[in-house]
Structure 1
Amino acid sequence: MPRERILITGAAGFLGSHLCDRFIKEDFHVIGMDNLITGDLRNIEHLFQLENFEFYNHDVSKFVHVPGKLDYILHFASPASPIDYLRIPIQTLKVGSLGTHNLLGLARAKKSRILVASTSEVYGDPAVSPQSEGYWGNVNPVGPRGVYDEAKRFQEAITMAYHTFHGLDTRIVRIFNTYGPRMRLNDGRVLPAFIGQALRGEDLTVFGDGSQTRSFCYVDDEIEGIYRLLMSNYTQPMNIGNPDEITIKQFGEEIIKLTGTKQKLIYKDLPADDPKQRQPDITKAKEILGWSPKVNRAEGLKITYEYFKSLPEQEIKHKDFTYYNKH
């Protein structure tokens, strides 16, 4: 029996590369696609020798053609860190709108099931906590984060339109803060930023007073939740994340303890529209998918820290994220 075929966009990114690994493990024929604007081929180079993996260097904001049948599409192409989407705001909007439109059209032509990667950022700076899928959010469409937030909100809207109007088989996952190996060091997100500063012997930068919260999900748990959602019959948006909430100040103190750094926390002004709370309500994931996170933060952070420590010294020392697009 021939292998099922799956297209994964954003395949050279953090989550995309782990998804490639998971579907190879499940004996799929995996077609990875990435334009490498923020992705890194090192994340998937171990797959290149496999007969059931192929890679297309392509921008999904332009017409997407994949020969042969496609059983599934996972749309994970998008900048995901503030540093990236503030640097390339137009591309961020285009991959969420034009890119999603192109892939929905491809899914319709191929009669594929498509799962699109949305984000907890659709909730903006939430007025309720924890955030359930029924909460509509509090988003500033013209603020600095609007290019990412609204790209994802449009992505959800057009996906549901294809589902209701064309009867397309769609899934929407709302991803909360996820961490683990293959994250890009110094990509602007709090966890790699803290660990990068600790490894360089710098003080850890907290924005605001540190009372804002985040909830961190280890990558293996996140991938399992995404896999189960794709294989389920559930077509409404679903939160996949870890509800174990912690303040940024407490998290910085955990990183100092983990890394043994002698540095301290320093405080800077909070960026505009930065969410004060981020905690997923995962009731639907538990009830419908039988999913909940298994890896506790102490265990996941230890694995992630060891990964970052193993990176080449020049990467650890280099604070400018553009380094990764040049080497």
Structure 2
Amino acid sequence: MKKTLITGAAGFLGSHLCDRFIAEGHHVIAMDNLITGDLKNIEHLFPLENFEFHHHDVSTFVHLGGELDYILHFASPASPIDYLKIPIETLKVGSLGTLNLLGLAKEKKARILVASTSEVYGDPLVHPQNEDYYGNVSPIGPRGVYDEAKRFMESITMAYHRHHGLDTRIVRIFNTYGSRMRLNDGRVVPAFMGQALRGEDLTVFGDGSQTRSFTYIDDQIEGIYRLLMSDYVEPINIGNPDETTILEFAQEIIKLTGTDQKIVYRPLPQDDPLQRQPDISRAKEVLGWEPQVHRSEGLKKAYDYFKSLSPEELSGNHRNFSAIK
């Protein structure tokens, strides 16, 4: 039985990865410091013999006994609300956390996949974004704590690959949505869904002409799994090239939810990308991967999930940062 460590395991992507690797017959070691993760996302796995959970911050150190085959490093705040509240922790998990896990992978001779992001492209001057584009990022802007943490993550991962011969993979994740997202995390899909379900007007920043491309969680997990099992070491975009403006997307949510909310406009946050669309030519060629779930289908599934949440969860106030030191 392969043994796989997944960091950020109680988060949105991490919990779905735990499900996938359990289904693939792996022994999964889940690790999370629970600053933004929630044990509810993985509590269904606790009774399983091939699942174990470690409440731990990978930015301090990481030690595990025995053999280890794979490491998937997904420990990081991923939403603007989170990383703007905890900027130091965001930088530390992208730098020190990555360093610690690369060291563990070297010690165990394990293959490691690190979760990068489309945010390494910043506010792009190239559209759509392919993996050869270096990006347009402000290192000192408010979003720089996340963007530069991920850019450093990629740099040190490639350094370990080149210098130590470490078996590494880098996935650049574009906007992903689905079950287990927090309604108060500031990302577009849960923000709009939460406002619609609470009977609030939908908030669009700027004039709504900025674009995003949304990937359903099942497609994202499949792409990540294929990349880990491939022989490809350069970064690969995993995202859906089906691009839409934020204004069009807000109108789509209103139609889906059957609500009659208005759309209200607020100033565009500093350094907010005006365009986001992945070029997935490399994923198609190398992994044989492309999205299978149409946005209308994925949004219906996500809406059904959000409707099932408790009133406390629907209020968006069920998480806090009391674990921060």
Normalising by structure 1, we get a TM-score of: 0.97
> Could you tell me whether the CA contact under 8 Å between 1:176 and 1:215 is conserved in 2?
yes
State the one-letter code of the partner of 1:97. S
State the one-letter code of the partner of 1:260. G
Once the two structures are superposed, the pairs formed by residues 116-195 of structure 1 within 5 Å of their partners are: 116-195=114-193
Counterpart among 203, 221, 224 of residue 222 in structure 2? 224
Residue 192 of structure 1 aligns to a residue in which SS?
helix
Which runs of 4 or more aligned residues in structure 1 lie more than 3 Å from their structure 2 counterparts after TM superposition?
Answer: 318-321, 323-326
Q: CA deviation at 1:67?
A: 1.1
> 1:65 and 2:63 equivalent?
yes
| Match of residue 199 from structure 2 | 201
Counterpart among 15, 25, 28 of residue 26 in structure 2? 28
C-alpha deviations, 1:83-125, integer Å up to 9, x for none? 0000000000000000000000000000000000000000000
> Could you tell me whether the CA contact under 8 Å between 1:38 and 1:325 is conserved in 2?
no
Once the two structures are superposed, the pairs formed by residues 167-316 of structure 1 within 5 Å of their partners are: 167-316=165-314
In the alignment, the residues of structure 2 paired with residue 167 and residue 137 of structure 1 have an alpha-carbon distance, to the nearest angstrom, of: 27
In the alignment, the residues of structure 2 paired with residue 169 and residue 265 of structure 1 have an alpha-carbon distance, to the nearest angstrom, of: 48
Counterpart among 89, 92, 99 of residue 91 in structure 1? 89
In the alignment, the residues of structure 1 paired with residue 91 and residue 321 of structure 2 have an alpha-carbon distance, to the nearest angstrom, of: 23
> Could you tell me whether the CA contact under 8 Å between 2:183 and 2:316 is conserved in 1?
no
State the one-letter code of the partner of 1:244. D
CA gap 1:200/1:303 in 2 versus in 1, 3 angstroms: same
Residue 209 of structure 2 aligns to a residue in which SS?
coil
In the alignment, the residues of structure 1 paired with residue 28 and residue 135 of structure 2 have an alpha-carbon distance, to the nearest angstrom, of: 35
Q: CA deviation at 1:168?
A: 0.2
C-alpha deviations, 1:153-190, integer Å up to 9, x for none? 00000000000000000000000000000011121011
Residue 322 of structure 1 aligns to a residue in which SS?
coil
In the alignment, the residues of structure 2 paired with residue 158 and residue 231 of structure 1 have an alpha-carbon distance, to the nearest angstrom, of: 21
CA gap 1:43/1:324 in 2 versus in 1, 3 angstroms: farther
In the alignment, the residues of structure 2 paired with residue 266 and residue 7 of structure 1 have an alpha-carbon distance, to the nearest angstrom, of: 43
Q: CA deviation at 1:262?
A: 1.0
Q: CA deviation at 1:325?
A: 7.6
CA gap 1:284/1:318 in 2 versus in 1, 3 angstroms: closer
> Could you tell me whether the CA contact under 8 Å between 1:73 and 1:113 is conserved in 2?
yes
More moved, 10-19 vs 314-323:
314-323
Residue 169 of structure 2 aligns to a residue in which SS?
strand
Identity %: 76
In the alignment, the residues of structure 1 paired with residue 228 and residue 172 of structure 2 have an alpha-carbon distance, to the nearest angstrom, of: 13
C-alpha deviations, 1:239-268, integer Å up to 9, x for none? 000000000000000000000111111000
Consecutive unaligned residues of structure 1, counting only runs of 5 or more, are none
CA gap 1:92/1:198 in 2 versus in 1, 3 angstroms: same
Counterpart among 95, 107, 118 of residue 109 in structure 1? 107
Q: CA deviation at 1:313?
A: 1.1
Normalising by structure 2, we get a TM-score of: 0.98
> Could you tell me whether the CA contact under 8 Å between 2:184 and 2:317 is conserved in 1?
yes
> 1:45 and 2:48 equivalent?
no
> Could you tell me whether the CA contact under 8 Å between 1:13 and 1:40 is conserved in 2?
yes
